[in-house]
Chain A
Amino acid sequence: MTAVAVTGIGAIAPNGKGTDAYWKSTVEGLSGIVPVSRFDASGYPAKLAGEVPFDAAAHLPSRLIPATDHMTRLSLAAAEWALQDAGVDPAELPDFGAGVITASSAGGFEFGQRELENLWNKGPKYVSAYQSYAWFYAVNSGQISIRHGMRGPSGVVVSDQAGGLDAIAQTRRQIRKGTQLIISGGVDGSLCPWGWVAQMTDTRMSTSDDPERAYLPFDPAAGGHVAGEGGALLVMEELEAARRRGARIYGEVAGYGATMDPRPGSSREPGLRRAIVTALDDAGVNPDEVDVVFADAAAVPELDRIEADAIDAVFGPGKVAVTAPKTMTGRLAAGAASLDVAAALLAIRDGVIPPTVHVSRAPEYSIDLVTGAAREAQVRTALVLARGHGGFNSAVVVRAAR
């Protein structure tokens, strides 16, 4: 089977804009979780977020600004950085040789709130012409393809937080079918009052107002997560073709598995373990070859238990390093998982496992959670896990290119 490589990373995260800034903060354990500043959240139970302040005018043509949601602007920046990092100009590729496949969760929700306000406060004539696409789930793939002239296969998947990995898998599939290069992953967020209220109904959001105590997966005080915005876009190519053009190879997307949990109330096993096993089989990797697991890290005790059990069942208790750098960014919806894949590839590059910050592992878990500070380790193969509300489980194996 054709090997597929990642050759460019564009990360944009609450603890760092740009891949270098993100990775530096992440290795140092610097969190980007802050009191919400984008709107007045004082009246809401959840008060903290992973925000990405962004001067759109400095990064984007001014004509794009009235037509785009904040998360689309972030994604346009990330796409540009990823291409620069890969040293590729899609305009120089053959026609239809490049595509864009992104994950979305709620589309441009802040844009949507403004237009709903216009409609219900002022009337139908006040709805923006750009509402017809600026809020919808496909907007980032569309805008990125237009900006960089990418006419190949494009796509959009929505599987809540698992979507970032599903997009990467769909990308690998299209590259194996013959597309030369695809920008893949997710950059997401809906930090506006309407999006905030909608996210809170998930009942998994932390109500702590202490940035150091709000998002504590696998900790005795685990009490939900902090929501954030941002993510990462990756440039993916066929490995041999990337080598031929002399590209720097971050690593190979070697395996993927996805499952759906049984319906609630079922006594059947949750799907996460099966997603892991499928991804390892797909990669042809034995559990003992995996050097680190980037956990989904829900910080909801019941869900942390399912994840710890799945990891233990596949690897054996305490046999593999586990980490959750998203404790520094919050959960970034469809942006979370591709940012974790970026972190996994950078861990391979630098031989360092970033920490799970602010967490003391609860004694009932036997996973080897990397807490406190980053751990130096040779990382050849990493497993990234992501789960979405509604039973979605996805797993991706990345490894150093052979």
Chain B
Amino acid sequence: MIRRRVVITGIGVLAPGGVGTKNFWSLLSEGRTATRTLTHFDPTPYRSRIAAEVDFDPQEHGLRAQEIRRMDRAAQFAVVAGREAAADSGLEWSGVDPHRIGVTIGSAVGATTSLEDEYRVVSDDGSAHLVDHTYATPHLYDYLVPSSFATEVAWAIGAEGPSTVVSTGCTSGIDAVGHAVELIREGAADVMITGATEAPISPITVACFDAIKATSVHNDDPEHASRPYDSTRNGFVLGEGAAGFVLEEYESAKRRGATIYAEIVGYATRSNAYHMTGLRADGAEMAEAITAALDEGRLNPADLDYVNAHGSGTKQNDRHETAAFKRSLGDHAYAVPVSSIKSMVGHSLGAIGSIEIAASALAIKNNVVPPTANLHHQDPELDLDYVPLTARDWRTDRVLTVGSGFGGFQSAMVLSRPERSAA
């Protein structure tokens, strides 16, 4: 049986530092950072007071008053990113059978910001345990169950095929796209709108990462707080954003003369079955996911031109994934450029995996490897080529992108310039 090949034909990104794919790529290729002192609420009582926020005006992006009222910020992001990707694909949507269009959207924490806002109202700032239903917004159910994100995207685009939200913590953004790839391959859909979204910058999220000391406390230098692989790193910087994609079956994309960013040739996920937040030092599970993704793409480690890393900037993560790269890629781990865009756009939990897929596809398109910003004093324990500070012009045909998250999920995806795929 010939496997259906799946390609990215449309991208829409809403990332900190500038809405839109073009702004996103400028930020990355110039090595600028979008982290700053948190502004969504007064961060004074919190341990970590830094965030990578998106300056986003939903009206400017065509959302109507009722949509804005109805949708959590993350749902708004998803719809805008999905529409951007849909337009970018150049697909004549009216000519596609809606039944053949599906939607998978990743998110780790759903409508957490709207839920907290609404909780404050119905509980009167936490004072009533028996919260008051008469104050509840009629849209609360859509915040309760974040599958509403998939619904909003489907209804915005006119999709009536298989649709779901994928929520595997911080690998959601890879897993949602991986799921979409599988649906096209098996023939359940011909076109998928996929990607991931997150708008987690709310007091409860900041407080819970404070409680486990996972976020950076470089509060006095917020623009340079996200420091993956640096010896002064002390945690991740919470971010927000979304990336949307149009995925299509390769032959039909080619027939219609679509611009193809990249083919998704391999995807795999594994669990560490070890700890909800901890990582095994040897990186065995991420390594296994990487190997499985390469196998699916019929590629060898040496075929990779760039590794888009998870690089969250926690002590533990950066060691873990460096071990995983060595374990899975062997000597090639030392030869291939590895970088973390979280140094620039922060860690938007479930969304970042998709934002990093967008960065990987754009690296292929532009033959440029984005840098790891803020990397001035490389941790001597970490000895790979992390592309410090400055983007690199680099022939980039094949990219590995990885993610690692709470719950133990480890995911890997391999993208390839389609004419360079091992077909």
Interface pick from B7-15, B138-146, B320-328, B415-423: B138-146
CA distance A40 to B188 in the complex (A): 46
By the criterion CB–CB under 8 Å, are B211 and A132 in contact? yes
**A260 contacts B409, C-beta separation under 8 Å:** no
Q: How large is the interface on B (under 10, 10 to 19, 20 to 34, 35 or more residues)?
A: 35 or more
Mask for B289-313, Cβ within 8 A of A = 1, else 0?
Answer: 0000000000000000000000000
Contacts of A133 in B (CB 8 A): 169, 276-277, 406-407
Q: What are the residues of chain A within 8 A of B179 when measuring CB–CB? A: 155, 170
- Does A258 touch B at the CB level, under 8 Å? yes
Q: State which of A117, A121, A136 has its C-beta within 8 Å of the C-beta of B108.
A: A136
Chain B CB within 8 A of A104 CB: yes
Question: Which residue on B lies nearest to A154, using beta carbons?
Answer: B271
Q: Does B374 make an interface contact (CB < 8 A)?
A: no
A106 CA / B270 CA spacing, docked (Å): 24
Complex Cα–Cα for A165 and B275 (A): 27
Q: How far is the CA of A100 from the CA of B407 in the complex (A)?
A: 11
Please judge, given known A-B contacts A115-B204, A143-B276, A158-B165, whether A194 and B110 are in contact too, CB under 8 Å.
no
Return the chain A residue nearest B170 by Cβ. Answer: A138
Most central of B168, B172, B206, B269 by chain A CB within 10 Å: B168
Q: Which residues of B contact A129 (CB under 8 A)?
A: 208, 211-212
Asked if B38 is at the interface of the complex by the 8 Å CB criterion, the answer is no
- Chain A residues closer than 8 Å to B377, beta-carbon distance: none
Of residues 58 through 113 on chain A, the ones whose CB sits less than 8 Å from some CB of chain B are 67, 95-96, 99-100, 104-107, 109, 112-113
Interface locus among A211-219, A347-355, A384-392: A384-392
> Pick the contact of B167 from A104, A162, A268 — CB < 8 Å?
A104
In the complex the two chains form, is A116's CB within 8 Å of B126's CB? yes
Q: Given A124-B210, A136-B108, do A197 and B133 touch, yes or no (CB 8 Å)? A: yes
Chain B residues within an 8 Å CB radius of A150: 271, 273
Pick from B123, B147, B160, B165 the residue with the most CB of A within 10 Å.
Answer: B147
B268–A153 touching, CB < 8 Å? yes
CA distance A103 to B139 in the complex (A): 22
Q: Is the Cβ of B277 less than 8 Å from the Cβ of A274?
A: no
Cα separation A96 to B150 with both chains bound (whole Å): 30
Closest to A141 in B: B407
Please name all residues of chain A whose beta carbon is closer than 8 Å to the beta carbon of B158 when the two chains form the complex.
262-263
A260's partner among B110, B161, B204 (CB-CB below 8 A) is: B161
Q: Is B333 an interface residue (CB 8 A)?
A: no
B273 touches A151 (CB 8 A): yes
**Chain A minimum-CB-distance residue to B47:** A124
Whether a CB of chain A sits under 8 angstroms from the CB of B175 is yes
Given contacts A146-B274, A198-B141, contact A155 B269 (CB under 8 A): yes
Closest chain B residue, CB of each to CB of A258:
B162
Evaluate whether A260 and B159 lie within 8 angstroms (CB atoms) in the complex, with A40-B130, A137-B167, A151-B273 already known: yes
Is B387 in the interface zone, CB < 8 Å from A?
no
Asked whether A198 lies within 8 Å of B270 as measured between CB atoms, the reply is: no
B163 at the interface (CB under 8 A from A): yes
- B79-123 vs A: 1/0 string, CB under 8 Å? 000000000000000000011001100001110000110111011
Q: 7 more A-B contacts (CB under 8 A) besides A104-B167, A151-B272, A162-B164?
A: A39-B129, A105-B147, A116-B116, A124-B45, A133-B276, A260-B162, A391-B155
A-contacting residues of B (Cβ < 8 Å)?
45-47, 98-99, 102-103, 108-110, 115-116, 118-120, 122-123, 125-127, 129-133, 136-148, 150-151, 154-155, 158-169, 172, 175, 179, 182, 186, 188, 203-204, 206-212, 214, 268-277, 285, 288, 405-409
Q: List 6 A-B contacts (CB under 8 A).
A: A116-B119, A120-B119, A198-B140, A259-B161, A390-B151, A391-B163
The 4 closest A-B CB pairs, nearest first, are A120-B126, A142-B407, A390-B151, A137-B167
